[in-house]
C-alpha cells in the first residue's frame, strides 16, 4: 500500500491496514502452515517485488483488479511491473471469486509449440494430485485433469503453423496445409501429455482454429477449467502474448484464476 500521508494520518492508515491483514490472516490459518502479515510503504509494485525476493516467495497471488479497476490493474503500473519483474509465477484471481480452493483439479494449459510456452509445465506439475480414491473429492474427482490446448489461426503468417510445417510466414495456408499442421500439433501435444501422465494427471488434448484468446476462453468454459496456466509470452513475443490479443484478453475474460509464468529467456 502506498502510504503517502504523514504523521498521525499515516499511523492511522497503517494501523487500519494491519488490522485488515490480521483478519485476512485468520481466514488462512486453517489451510496454511504459517501466515505472516506485513505493511510496507512505497510504490506498490516495487514493494511487492522486493518483499517477494526477501522472503524467497515461489508464488505471488493477487486479484485482477484493486481500487484502480481491472483495466488499470492488468495494464497499469502495478500488475504490469509485477509481471515484468517477478522471478516467480504470478497467480491472478478475478475479483468476486470467493470459493476457497486448496487444490485445482481442472487445469487448462495453452501451448503454441515453443520452448518459451513450455516453461509453464514445471509449475503445472506441482499442482498435480493423483489420489484416485480421495474421500474428500470422491473417487476420480480427486485426480487432476489437465487440458492441453493449441490454437491455429488461419490468417497470414501464423508462427505456430510455421514452426510445425515447411510453410513460410506470410503465406495464406490452404486447408490441406492447415490440416497437416493440426496433425503435427496433436502429435506434439501427445508427447507433452505423456510426461504429465507420468506425474499422475489425466490429460486431455485439443487443437482448435481461430482467434487464440477467444478459443482459450471458450475451451476453458467448455471443460469447466478452474485454473488457466500460461507463460507471459511464446512464439509471438512479449508484446503480443502479454498485452495483445492473447493473455490480456484471457485475463479480462477468464472466470477462473490465471497462473502466469515469465520465461527465463527470450527469443
Sketch out the chain's domains with CATH numbers. 7-93 (3.40.50.620), 106-261 (3.40.50.620)
> Mean pLDDT across the stretch 172-189?
81
The confidence band for 93, taking pLDDT boundaries of 50, 70 and 90, is confident
Rounded CA-CA distance 145/56 in Å is: 29
> Mean pLDDT across the stretch 69-94?
72
| 140 DSSP assignment | G
pLDDT at 29: 81
> Mean pLDDT across the stretch 83-91?
88
* CA R_g for the chain: 20
> Mean pLDDT across the stretch 35-46?
88
Decide if pLDDT at 114 tops 60.
Answer: yes
Q: What is the DSSP string of 71-121?
A: HHHHHSHHHHHHHHH-SS-EEEE-TT-----S---EEEEE--S-HHHHTTH
| Mean pLDDT comparison of 85-99, 103-117, 162-176, 193-207, highest-scoring range | 193-207
Decide if pLDDT at 27 tops 60.
Answer: yes
| High-pLDDT (> 90) share of the chain, % | 34
Q: b/e for 55-64, b at 16 or more Cβ within 10 A?
A: eebeebeebb
Rounded CA-CA distance 16/236 in Å is: 44
Decide if pLDDT at 155 tops 60.
Answer: no
Rounded CA-CA distance 104/98 in Å is: 14
Say if residues 149 and 108 touch (Cβ distance below 8 Å): yes
Say if residues 133 and 139 touch (Cβ distance below 8 Å): yes
The confidence band for 237, taking pLDDT boundaries of 50, 70 and 90, is very low
pLDDT at 163: 53
> Mean pLDDT across the stretch 194-208?
95
Rounded CA-CA distance 235/237 in Å is: 6
Rounded CA-CA distance 17/22 in Å is: 9
Instruction: Please list the residues that pair with 146 across neighbouring strands.
Output: 107, 203
251-261, pLDDT tens digit by residue?
Answer: 878 889 999 98
Decide if pLDDT at 18 tops 60.
Answer: yes
Decide if pLDDT at 97 tops 50.
Answer: yes
Other C-beta atoms within 10 Å of 20: how many?
13
pLDDT at 101: 67
* Residue indicated by cell numbers 503480443: 240
Instruction: Please list the residues that pair with 149 across neighbouring strands.
Output: 110, 206
pLDDT at 139: 45
Say if residues 127 and 166 touch (Cβ distance below 8 Å): no
Instruction: Please list the residues that pair with 147 across neighbouring strands.
Output: 108, 204
Q: What is the pTM of this model?
A: 0.79
The confidence band for 216, taking pLDDT boundaries of 50, 70 and 90, is very high
Amino acid at each position: 500500500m502506498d502510504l503517502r500521508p504523514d504523521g498521525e494520518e499515516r499511523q492511522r492508515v497503517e494501523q487500519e491496514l494491519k488490522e485488515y491483514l490480521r483478519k485476512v490472516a485468520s481466514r488462512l490459518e486453517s489451510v496454511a502452515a504459517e501466515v505472516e502479515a506485513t505493511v510496507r510503504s512505497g510504490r506498490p509494485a516495487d514493494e511487492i517485488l522486493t518483499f517477494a525476493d526477501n522472503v524467497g516467495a515461489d508464488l505471488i497471488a493477487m486479484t485482477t483488479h484493486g481500487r484502480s479497476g481491472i483495466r488499470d490493474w492488468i495494464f497499469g503500473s502495478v500488475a504490469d511491473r509485477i509481471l515484468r519483474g517477478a522471478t516467480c509465477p504470478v497467480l491472478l484471481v478475478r475479483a468476486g471469486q470467493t470459493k476457497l480452493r486448496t487444490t485445482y483439479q481442472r487445469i487448462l494449459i495453452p501451448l503454441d509449440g515453443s520452448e518459451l510456452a513450455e516453461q509453464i509445465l514445471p509449475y503445472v506439475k506441482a499442482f498435480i494430485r493423483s489420489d484416485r480414491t480421495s474421500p474428500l473429492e470422491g473417487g476420480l474427482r480427486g485426480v487432476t485433469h489437465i487440458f492441453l490446448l493449441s490454437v491455429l489461426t488461419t490468417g497470414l503468417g501464423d508462427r505456430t503453423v510455421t514452426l510445425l510445417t515447411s510453410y513460410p510466414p506470410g503465406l495464406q495456408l490452404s486447408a490441406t496445409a492447415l490440416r497437416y499442421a493440426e496433425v503435427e500439433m496433436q502429435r506434439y501435444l501427445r508427447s507433452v501429455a505423456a510426461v504429465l501422465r507420468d506425474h499422475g494427471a489425466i490429460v486431455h488434448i485439443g487443437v482448435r482454429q481461430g482467434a487464440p484468446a477467444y478459443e482459450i476462453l471458450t475451451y476453458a468454459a467448455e471443460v469447466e477449467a478452474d485454473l488457466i496456466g500460461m507463460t507471459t509470452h511464446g512464439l509471438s513475443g512479449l508484446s503480443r502474448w502479454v498485452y495483445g490479443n492473447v493473455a490480456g484478453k484471457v485475463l479480462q475474460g477468464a472466470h477462473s484464476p490465471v497462473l502466469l509464468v515469465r520465461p527465463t529467456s527470450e527469443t
